[in-house]
Amino acid sequence: MLGGGFLTSWVSLSNWKSPGKQPDEANNANAANRARAILRKGRFAITSTSRERVQRATTAWYHPAPHRQESAPPMAHRTPAETQDRHLSSPSHATPSLGLTLGEPAGIGPEVMVAALAQTGASTQAHIRLFITPGLAPFTRRVLAAAGLSVEASPDQPGVVLDTTATMEGEDSGPAVGHASETGRRQAFSAISAMADSACHGHLDVMVTGPVTKSIFDHIDPQPPGQTEFLAGRLGADRFAMMLAGPRLRVVPVTTHVPLRDVPRLLTTEGIVETSLAVHGDLQRWFDLAAPRLALCGLNPHAGEGGRLGDEEATIIAPAAARLRAQDVVVEGPMPADALFHQALEGRWDAVICMFHDQALGPLKTAHFGDAFNMTCGLSVPRLSPDHGTAFGLAGRGMADVGSARAALESALHIARRRAQAATTADVFVEANHG
């Protein structure tokens, strides 16, 4: 059992959102329905009205009324403070606040995430809240010290603070490095749950998660496919997507961790549109792209070759492109994947929307195996991570590549600074006009 009031089930959402509120049977049922809706959305087996249903169902829980005014004034008549995107809302301090988890403690997560902290100088630029369970505190301090980092106690100032609110029962003092364990999985789950809770309460500008195995969610029903879907559910995302990004290429799979044989059944026009809009919005917000250029991959060889090799391009993907253009998104496709990635690497596209996991990650990891990062687009508090796994066989041997963790932290720092600066600007405007 997990202690400290944190989740033992993905659907037990009421306690973390409303700490003083006692869940009742109806609320638990609603939470379960929302979680299942998010799970279906994560696998992109959704209907044309599912986003609206999820949005209505999650409004009261995830987005308190003051932040979701249906009668907001038109954009042209809003003040600068009112025109701040809701994704730019930030903790009320000038120093960026970055939440960090180390992933499964017996894997390479602790060494690569802490090394990336040291190499990027993140602790001199942001307030780093490192989420761990109490039993991992001595181990974490040793890892930090080995990288030349110390734990600072000053709130809202640059430095590293250990957040041990992620308590659990029956915890060992530290991991057996290189050996996966049930305790390590529970520690990793407790940490990401605590960080999500902190994000929901407005304490973080950005989240960075260390690598985990999907088994950390085995005790949850319904079980999210990974951290992407778990955090989307916890933060009540209206739409979300998994983007892998390197210096020259960004890719986004519409269907993610599902068998290849299921892709044609799960692929929908709605899923492509929602994925593309989530990516489009975050490219505008965080990557300074006013009009991101998206390319849609075909599913079949030669993009179906006029229906001779499959009709998903005509029946599913082309309608999605049309709907995106109707919303002023710059998009082209469906296009044959064999030529598309060369064009993207040459700078023609800002992101490639792919139809299945390996269609996206094969080219990405060929071009950027050591310097790409994973980002969950569409969250109210952005989340980034390395684009690799736990690599238990490399843990503790000094052989793990820090590049992906460093890329994730560098991009997270950029986002955190933007959010903190936007919040400070809004606060100054309000004071000037109401002082």
Q: pTM here?
A: 0.76
Return the structure tokens found at 46: 């959704």
In angstroms, the CA 244 to CA 253 distance is 9
Q: Using alpha carbons, list the distances in angstroms from residue 305 to 241, 299, 318, 322, 335.
A: 28, 11, 13, 19, 10
Look at strands 383-386 and 206-208 and give their pairing: parallel
Same domain flag for 258 and 364: yes
CA atoms within 13 A on the CB side of 144: 20
Output the average pLDDT for the chain.
78
Query: Stretch 317-325: mean pLDDT, rounded?
Result: 97
In a domain, 317, yes or no: yes
Same domain flag for 185 and 100: yes
- Which residue is associated with the tokens 């843990």? 395
In angstroms, the CA 186 to CA 250 distance is 32
Same domain flag for 130 and 146: yes
282: number of Cβ within 10 Å: 24
The answer to whether 110 and 210 have CB atoms below 8 angstroms apart is yes
Residue 52: strand, helix, or coil: helix
In a domain, 251, yes or no: yes
In a domain, 59, yes or no: no
Give per-residue pLDDT as tens, 406-428: 999 999 999 998 887 776 554 44
Same domain flag for 227 and 253: no
Number of domains in the chain: 2
Supply the pLDDT for residue 5.
25
Supply the pLDDT for residue 155.
72
The whole domain housing 301 covers 241-375
- Picking from 375, 393, 412, the residue at the C-terminal end of a domain is 375
Query: Stretch 246-272: mean pLDDT, rounded?
Result: 95
In a domain, 287, yes or no: yes
Same domain flag for 112 and 232: yes
Residue 384: strand, helix, or coil: strand
In a domain, 253, yes or no: yes
Same domain flag for 312 and 431: no
Give per-residue pLDDT as tens, 142-178: 999 999 998 876 777 889 989 888 877 766 667 888 8
Give per-residue pLDDT as tens, 2-34: 322 222 233 333 222 323 333 344 444 544 454
Query: Stretch 86-103: mean pLDDT, rounded?
Result: 71
Helix (H) or strand (E) holding 175: none
In angstroms, the CA 109 to CA 120 distance is 16
Angle between helix 337-345 and helix 357-368 axes, rounded to 10 deg: 40
Look at strands 206-208 and 97-100 and give their pairing: parallel
Supply the pLDDT for residue 177.
87
Return the structure tokens found at 313: 């391009």
In angstroms, the CA 292 to CA 288 distance is 9
Give per-residue pLDDT as tens, 284-315: 999 989 999 999 999 999 988 888 998 999 99
Return the structure tokens found at 405: 């963790």
pLDDT at 341 over 90: yes
In angstroms, the CA 142 to CA 165 distance is 20
Supply the pLDDT for residue 93.
58
The answer to whether 17 and 200 have CB atoms below 8 angstroms apart is yes
In a domain, 8, yes or no: no
The answer to whether 400 and 112 have CB atoms below 8 angstroms apart is yes
Same domain flag for 221 and 159: yes
Same domain flag for 255 and 316: yes
Residue 31: strand, helix, or coil: helix
CATH number at residue 281: 3.40.718.10
Reference 124, options 150, 91, 90, 88; nearest CA is: 150
The answer to whether 372 and 365 have CB atoms below 8 angstroms apart is yes
Which residue would you say has higher pLDDT here, 46 or 244? 244
DSSP letter, residue 64: -
Residue 253: strand, helix, or coil: strand
Supply the pLDDT for residue 267.
96
- Picking from 340, 355, 375, the residue at the C-terminal end of a domain is 375
- Which residue is associated with the tokens 């820090």? 402
Q: Please give the full DSSP string across 201-251, using - where no structure is assigned.
A: TT--SEEE-----GGGGTT-SSPPSSHHHHHHHHTT-SS-EEEEE-SS-EE
The answer to whether 66 and 174 have CB atoms below 8 angstroms apart is no
Supply the pLDDT for residue 178.
84
Pick from 38-42, 367-371, 393-397, 406-410: least confident: 38-42
Which residues lie across from 242 on neighbouring strands? 376
Same domain flag for 221 and 255: no
Rounded CA Rg of the chain:
21
Give per-residue pLDDT as tens, 354-389: 999 999 999 999 999 989 999 999 999 999 999 899
Supply the pLDDT for residue 263.
95
Q: Taking every pair of C-alpha atoms in the chain, what is the biggest distance, in angstroms? A: 68
Locate the DSSP E strands across 102-208: 127-131, 159-163, 206-208
Q: Cα angle vertex 232, ends 229, 238, to 5°?
A: 125
pLDDT at 60 over 50: no
Query: Stretch 392-400: mean pLDDT, rounded?
Result: 87
Same domain flag for 222 and 120: yes
- Picking from 348, 375, 402, the residue at the C-terminal end of a domain is 375
Same domain flag for 98 and 235: yes
In a domain, 111, yes or no: yes
Reference 295, options 361, 249, 260; nearest CA is: 249
Supply the pLDDT for residue 28.
46
pLDDT at 124 over 80: yes
Same domain flag for 406 and 416: yes
187: number of Cβ within 10 Å: 28
In a domain, 78, yes or no: no
